[in-house]
Amino acid sequence: MELFSLTTNITITDIQWQAYPIGIFLLLLCLFIILGNLLIIYVIIRENTLHTSTYYYIASLAFADLLVGLIVMPFAFIFEMTNDEYWLFRRNLQFLCDYWHSMDIFASTASIFALCIIGLDRYIAITKPIEYLNSFLSKKWDYILSIIWITSAVIAFPAVAVFGTAQTVSRQLSISNETLSTSSPSFKECEFPNNPYYILFISIISFYLPLIVMIYFYIQVYAAARQQAVALRTGYKHHYRIKSAKSLIPQLHVRKNNEKEQSTTSTHSDLITLRIHHGKYHNPSIESINEKSMNKTKRKPVQTKISWKIFSKDQKAAKFIGIIMGAFVFCWLPYFVYFLLSGVFFIRLKDEHYHELLFKIFSWLGYANSALDVLVYVATSKELRMTFSKLFVPHRCRRTH
């Protein structure tokens, strides 16, 4: 993104494609983002074991990264390779300038909103595992994703359309020692809207406010995961009480005193207490208590099939999502800090060349986050690695390794 016009004269050589070695790297980066995120989305859709709300939220994040590589980065690549002087597509295609900036805001906003939801999803799953089974986050993930993308579109597209980004420029174009005016509508510069109020609005709504919410959830997730780890070592227990057995795992069965086994899908109004002992020498158990006999001391525990792998997976998921969030903050925080300082408070480098260079570095660092996410997915998610192996590695090769 460019905030300000930094040159007053352009020569015909300025609009020629420049064969910098960095261009090859940026092109490969763009291709990696497209192919990598397409692969992540395909694997999540293809593998039934990954059809969970958490992985659907991750797929949404991968789709936002895909938009960055497929739409946003190609325009930035063209700007970089043409020396960033003026809008390459000129008068007939000047709407592409607004479209480019809108898609940039749209994709980045959808990304951070998805990260917020992932943080909330893991927070509830770890701290309130029973409630999470029937929670809105778990059951109505499609509604939540619709809200995320619609909200991102409302933030991105109307605002850019109102302020506009393609502006007519009046410059001098030197061709063979002759000076020609370029003030006609054929010449446009494509700059991000430099209205301070708009920049402040975009920065707060699309980054800073969601970032605060996201950090809060991840701190809570980390604290809950750490508390669970301590509990596993010390062996204390938690009690979870619910009004109906319907919210438990369907395979769970409860045997009441002097009665035959009943499925948890029945409609009885007994209170069910899930007693989970933390520690390797304990097993989870269930107690069925009639409301009229809650004060009685005799209760027969019934062993369940709930596995400790649930807690292990939650802790791994917390670590996985935490790394994703850390990568996002590392890549995008420098851009939004400098974006706010230079666009609202007009605190910027005095040398225009270094200001422009720093802004480019921060912009491409943000784009690189879309590639870093792919690497983090594969490196930290055992489920994704196993699915990749099952889908793309021949069975004979898997057996030999």
Q: Which CATH architecture has domain 9-227+309-400?
A: Up-down Bundle (1.20)
340-371 pLDDT per residue, tens: 888 888 777 777 777 888 888 999 999 999 99
pTM above 0.85, yes or no: no
pLDDT the model gives residue 91: 57
47-74 pLDDT per residue, tens: 898 999 989 999 999 999 999 999 999 9
Cβ pair 246, 265 in contact under 8 A: yes
Residues 6+ apart with CB under 8 A from 113: 148, 151, 152, 210
Q: How far apart are CA 335 and CA 342, in angstroms?
A: 10
Classify residue 200 as exposed, middle or buried by CB count within 10 Å of its CB (0-12, 13-18, 19+): middle
Domain map of the chain by residue range? 9-227+309-400, 236-303
What is the spatial order of strands in the sheet that 285-289 belongs to?
Answer: 237-242, 271-277, 285-289, 302-303
Q: Kindly state the average pLDDT of the residues 375-379.
A: 86
Cβ pair 107, 332 in contact under 8 A: no
Count of residues in the chain: 401
200-216 pLDDT per residue, tens: 988 998 889 988 988 88
